[in-house]
Amino acid sequence: MSTQMSVFSSQEAAQPQWGARAILSFSEAGATIHIGEGHDLGAVQRAGRTLDGQGIALVALSGEGWDLESVWAFYQGYRGPKKKNALEWDALSEADQAELEARIRATDWTRDIINKTAEEVAPRQLATMAAEYIKSVAPAGTVKAKIVKDKDLLTEGWEGIYAVGRGSERTSAMLQLAFNPTGDENAPVFACLVGKGITFDSGGYSIKPGQFMTAMKADMGGAATITGGLGLAIERGLNKRIKLILCCAENMISGRALKLGDIITYKNGKTVEIMNTDAEGRLVLADGLMYASAQNPELIIDCATLTGAAKNALGNDYHALLSFDDELSHQALTAASQEKEGLWPLPLADFHRGMLPSNFADLSNISTGDYTPGASTAAAFLSYFVDDYKKGWIHMDCAGTYRKSASDKWAAGATGMGVRTLARLLVDQTK
């Protein structure tokens, strides 16, 4: 006896016995999703989540009405972190099928690596896995990768990554990956993508309470998301030279770990006093942004699970966007809207740059005082490491990469949200 369930789509309301707002009904033929006349993709995703939650492991999307976006919506809801279910659908057009499979590859890789334990994904492993994934989706011969690790970080001047990770037994690493489909070794670098890759964040000596530490294997969500975005952009035909820079470390406590009051001297001469070891993401990103600036790109994008302030402001359903470049911000927000992903602007102004005073260094790594805008001052800190921070740079504080518990649309764990937005922004910018 087959255990596969057929799932149909209908614009008609469910019969009254299923409830006035029912999105699912059942019959001998299978389940029907009632999407309404507006073709509610949210209802499709919620239905997928419901069926997975009921333990229905084999689903075939049957009948009419299943196009690219509806299949994708169902897939996002139906996919759980344990990956014990299987989904079938009727063949789409060649172009739509290729796009769907590319989305699945990019977001599955992103979700899977975020969901893995910190024991499985140490800093060097994250850098290696990211490079292997990009090589797997890029045309042969278009990717070169270098991983700078351990004491070599100091040799090259990447003091922030080294300092944050020195308390861990697992060595830190910086991935410097070049994607060049032009065939011209002298082609200008169009964009640099920088990701925060903190593979576990204990908070260091500013230690997190236990309930805030349980999800900290996901503190590399920015690195995973921006890598997935590049992978999808490549599959969508990205044709410009791009550099991916991942700043990978584990923030742990030991006799060698960063202490409050320590001062880091960065490659650009900026000195930073450590007033909170749990504000470590900005310390590693500073190195990545300096490396990015040195490539003279037209565009710099960084992604990071950087602040609790962004999550408090926006919840799990939106990433925060911060930038001094209004035109670029508009383009990013448009890309998110077109991809049906959550992205929302938070303020970033010059006065935020003045809210990081230190008595002993150029900057403190946190702002002080009551009601400080934590997401804005974190972005302001990063701006000190971007050569032309007023133009061509956007910062994404990735509040929505990971959910500690399931919702009506998402399984617990990583979401892959933001991957499609980044891919669209990259491709659109190169047209």
Local mean pLDDT, 10-residue blocks, the chain (431 residues): 86 91 94 87 96 95 95 97 92 96 98 98 98 98 98 98 98 98 96 98 97 96 98 98 98 98 98 98 98 98 97 96 98 98 98 97 94 96 98 96 96 98 96 81
Closest by Cα among 101, 100, 103, 53 to 78: 53
The tokens describing 102, both together, are 């590319």
Q: What is the pLDDT of residue 257?
A: 98
Whether this prediction's pTM lies above 0.85 is answered by yes
Class at the top of the CATH hierarchy for domain 107-429:
alpha beta
Q: How far apart, in whole angstroms, are the C-alpha atoms of residue 126 and residue 249?
A: 9
Which sequence positions are flagged as catalytic?
A: 208, 282
